[in-house]
Chains A and B, each alone.
Chain A
Amino acid sequence: AQSVTQPDIHITVSEGASLELRCNYSYGATPYLFWYVQSPGQGLQLLLKYFSGDTLVQGIKGFEAEFKRSQSSFNLRKPSVHWSDAAEYFCAVGRFSGGYNKLIFGAGTRLAVHP
């Protein structure tokens, strides 16, 4: 069965420090991968997505992610974190089954930023 694992439930970093959020997936075919961010009480905003091509994907708000097939990973990175980046981050894999597309989400990583 397809699944997405985000090993870190909570991460705390200092403002200005670098950030890496981990994501591992289990999927038999070529995965379509997404990272979303959610502020408290809000919906999800797409940060970036990977479908094919260059394995280093640039997104909004200075985020990037690298697809590594050999490690089944799609880790999210940012070189310098801002206080406004404090939020919950979700990795997801797009699944196509029975003629339908749907997203399978990881459990999320909550990011706290210290001043």
Chain B
Amino acid sequence: DGGITQSPKYLFRKEGQNVTLSCEQNLNHDAMYWYRQDPGQGLRLIYYSQIVNDFQKGDIAEGYSVSREKKESFPLTVTSAQKNPTAFYLCASKQGTGNNYGYTFGSGTRLTVV
């Protein structure tokens, strides 16, 4: 079955460490997104990518970096510059264009600073 796979499901980071969250899709979608979810704040956009080798900052990109070397993969690195990284991270891809499109979400990675 097609879908989005995020790994790991749980991740623990020490202060000052960089960590990378994996997002892989086999849906053949061009556009991919990273969202951060905090209790009571909904989802906020970190980065998005429309095609391979292209990505754009979202609303809360500081302290994060991404790459898009393959269509299927859109990893997110949480750097030591991110002062409050504990959150639930969701990856998504977009299918369709114009006035008929939709998004598919992965099952998320919960990152905790220890």
Contacts and interface: CB of A to CB of B under 8 A. Distances in A.
B42 interface: yes
Contacts of A90: 42-43
A17 interface: no
Interface residues of A, number: 26
Contacts of B106: 43
A111 B108 CA distance: 20
Contact of B103 (A9, A46, A51, A106): A46
A108 B44 CA distance: 12
Interface of A: 4, 9, 32, 34, 36, 41-46, 49, 51-52, 90, 94, 98-103, 105-108
Counting from the closest, the 6 A-B pairs by CB-CB distance are A43-B105, A105-B42, A44-B105, A107-B42, A105-B43, A43-B107
